[in-house]
Amino acid sequence: MKELAKIIRAARGKIQPDLVLKNARVVNVFSAETYPADIAVLGERIVGIGEYTGKKEIDLERAFVLPGLIDGHMHIESAMVKVQEFARSVVPRGTTSVVCDPHEIANVHGLEGIHYILNSSKYSPVNIYVMLSSCVPATEFETSGANLRGFDLYPLLREKWVLGLGEMMNYPGVLNEDEGLLDKISMTHDKRIDGHAPGLSGKDLNAYVAAGVTSDHESTSIDEVIEKLRLGMYIMIREGSVTKNLRDLLPAVTTENLSRCFFVTDDRHPKDLLEKGHIDHMVKMAIKEGLDPVSAIRLATINTAQYFGLKDLGAIAPGYRADLVMVDSLKRFNVKMVMKSGRVVARDGEMVVPRPKTPEITLRSSINIKWLAPEDFDIRADGERVKVIDLVPGQIVTRAKVERAKIENGVVVADTERDLLPIAVVERHLASDNIGHAIVRGFGLRKGAIASSIAHDSHNIVVVGTSSEDMMAAVVEISKMRGGLSVVRDGQLLAGLPLPIAGLMSELTLAEVVAGLDKVRKAARRLGSGLDDPFMAMSFLSLPVIPELKVTDRGLFDVERFELTSLFA
């Protein structure tokens, strides 16, 4: 009660608050206006807006002050660094809260992976909330490192930092009344259930929403947004590193439906985080596209907070947490200072607080593969024509084609003249014999092989190459690094980036990871690849929920028919 009385007195001006931000221009996301005022802070919370004097004062010299930015759906693993390193990379950009789905690490380590994210988030300069991974594994047609059922996840719903159930990407399972999925939905009760339903429409979409799914981040057209809004869904407007939808979807946002939309990054990769930024980049883009600046800020703050029920985040008002961002201009949107819970944590793009001393959290090695031989990567011919996974530039969807195979001694081999290359997915969780084979077009390799332990969603090892020997060597290098990316030619490692944390994340800084990625990409280009990021393209070729053809450790997968299919036509 004494603490509450202190708050009341500070708000009334009877006692001095701990801190007053003087000469601020407040961005009010409730009234959609900006105006000059002081901001009084007591402890971690705002107690007043108006004219105040404090024990400590900071003159903001008429800088604009807005609530801390919130990412409503993302995967920290995509940043390829530890949780604390991710946090220190986005805070100077104005991000003070994220809602993450640890779907990637959960597919590798199960509950251990989710606990790793939760425990690593302690003492972070960012509020890290978790949506429990709903689809581990994503489908029954691949081998993951875990199988999370409803009763595995249920105890975590009582955790303070757990907000609900993460993206329900197996929407065919929901529509077909899969008992395990319905158990997870039923146990969530009044917490949020995020969606993942690209192209779902009509009565099937009705059923998906009726089941309890409340949002979607996979819309790619205005018509899709409007249909989902009409059914009561919240629209997550996504601008990731691979899937970029902001420019296409922004025209669908109106004054009337603004409160039902908010910004997310989904997958934001190291180079983009370092060079372009995080949610601040989306706000800048939206303003540049013509959206009113205060509306853009609402999409990055209060709308997200209200969707997830974060009652003390997303606004500048008495009782709200003092997570604040100061920018020089609402047009340029350059972040000058960031406060987290009433404490200045970043200035001019740099953290100004030391790294917290936290216990080291370790995970067991996640790379467990069988003893390999070059012939494991041979594709024995069972016909003259093969189904081909055709890359679509800049997209994670693929096209299904049929081509005449190049066959030597009964084995389908690389045809570099037509850019038809073998691709394999090696199971890496249980050391089983599973190796799925396919043919892919679009990488352009003339020699050598590239491999990665980042392979959505089960994150087995994926490798593309021009010979079975180099493909095996590239996978072996991944095993030596306990996960990572490798580029091999004539059996020799040209470049590699170790990712020993679940085969997904590095122990290096963000800048060091970006430098390592540049090295492996340049090495891949020396092998002939014309792709800007062949590793990113390769990582989505094992994702069996995105059309049309993909490959898992169990073989070629026809997404349209949702079944494994023969490689030979």
Which ranges constitute the DSSP H helices of 145-220? Answer: 150-153, 171-175, 179-187, 202-210
Please report, to the nearest 10 degrees, the dihedral formed by the alpha carbons of residues 107, 110, 113, 118 taken in order.
120
Position 76 scores a pLDDT of: 97
Instruction: Judge contact between 364 and 110, C-beta under 8 A.
Output: no
Residue 226 — φ and ψ, nearest 5°? -65, -45
Q: Looking at the predicted structure, is the pLDDT value of residue 71 above 70?
A: yes
- Given pLDDT bands bounded at 50, 70 and 90, which one contains residue 506? very high
Instruction: Judge contact between 243 and 265, C-beta under 8 A.
Output: no
> What's the rounded mean pLDDT across residues 259-269?
96
Exposure of 337 by Cβ count < 10 A (0-12 exposed, 13-18 middle, 19+ buried)?
buried
Nearest to 400 by CA among 413, 415, 410, 385: 385
Instruction: Kindly state the tokens that stand for 388.
Output: 């081909």
Nearest to 64 by CA among 302, 276, 334, 263: 334
Position 545 scores a pLDDT of: 81
Position 218 scores a pLDDT of: 93
Position 280 scores a pLDDT of: 98
Kind and range of the H or E run holding 87: helix 83-90
Using H for helix, E for strand and C for coil, what is the string for 353-389? CCCCCCCCCCCCCCCCCCCCCHHHHCEECCCCEEEEE
- Given pLDDT bands bounded at 50, 70 and 90, which one contains residue 546? confident
Q: How many residues does the chain have?
A: 569
First CA to last CA across the chain, in angstroms? 75
Q: Looking at the predicted structure, is the pLDDT value of residue 249 above 70?
A: yes
SS3 state at 77: helix
Q: What is the pLDDT of residues 394-416, one digit of tens each?
A: 778 899 999 999 999 999 999 99
Neighbours of 148 (CB within 10 A): 23
SS3 state at 347: strand
Position 1 scores a pLDDT of: 55
* Whole-number Å distance between alpha carbons of 134 and 170: 9
Position 224 scores a pLDDT of: 96
CATH number of 68-315: 3.20.20.140
Q: How far is CA 239 from the centre of its chain?
A: 10
Q: Looking at the predicted structure, is the pLDDT value of residue 204 above 70?
A: yes
The dihedral of CA 444, 449, 452, 453: what is its sign?
positive
> What's the rounded mean pLDDT across residues 131-146?
92
DSSP code at position 35 = E
Position 375 scores a pLDDT of: 97
Q: What is the pLDDT of residues 74-89, one digit of tens each?
A: 999 999 999 999 999 9
What is the secondary structure of 458-488 as a DSSP string? TT-EEEEESSHHHHHHHHHHHHHTTSEEEEE
Q: Are strands 19-28 and 33-42 parallel, antiparallel or unpaired?
A: antiparallel
Side chain identity at 559, as an amino acid letter?
A: V
Instruction: Judge contact between 420 and 403, C-beta under 8 A.
Output: yes
Q: Looking at the predicted structure, is the pLDDT value of residue 315 above 60?
A: yes
Q: At how many degrees (to 10) do helices 83-90 and 111-120 cross? A: 50
Position 139 scores a pLDDT of: 83
Q: Looking at the predicted structure, is the pLDDT value of residue 210 above 80?
A: yes
* Prior bond of 140 cis (ω within 30°): no
Position 428 scores a pLDDT of: 97
Instruction: Kindly state the tokens that stand for 506.
Output: 């590095």
Instruction: Judge contact between 326 and 69, C-beta under 8 A.
Output: no
Q: Looking at the predicted structure, is the pLDDT value of residue 471 above 60?
A: yes
* Number of helices and strands in the chain (H, E): 17, 31
pTM: 0.95
Position 361 scores a pLDDT of: 83
How many Cα atoms within 13 Å fall on the side-chain side of residue 71?
36
Give me the residue spans of the domains in the chain. 68-315, 374-564
* Whole-number Å distance between alpha carbons of 114 and 59: 42
* Whole-number Å distance between alpha carbons of 76 and 117: 9
Q: Which residue has the higher pLDDT, 214 or 545?
A: 214
> What is the percent of the chain where pLDDT is above 90?
91
Instruction: Judge contact between 274 and 85, C-beta under 8 A.
Output: no
> What's the rounded mean pLDDT across residues 185-213?
95
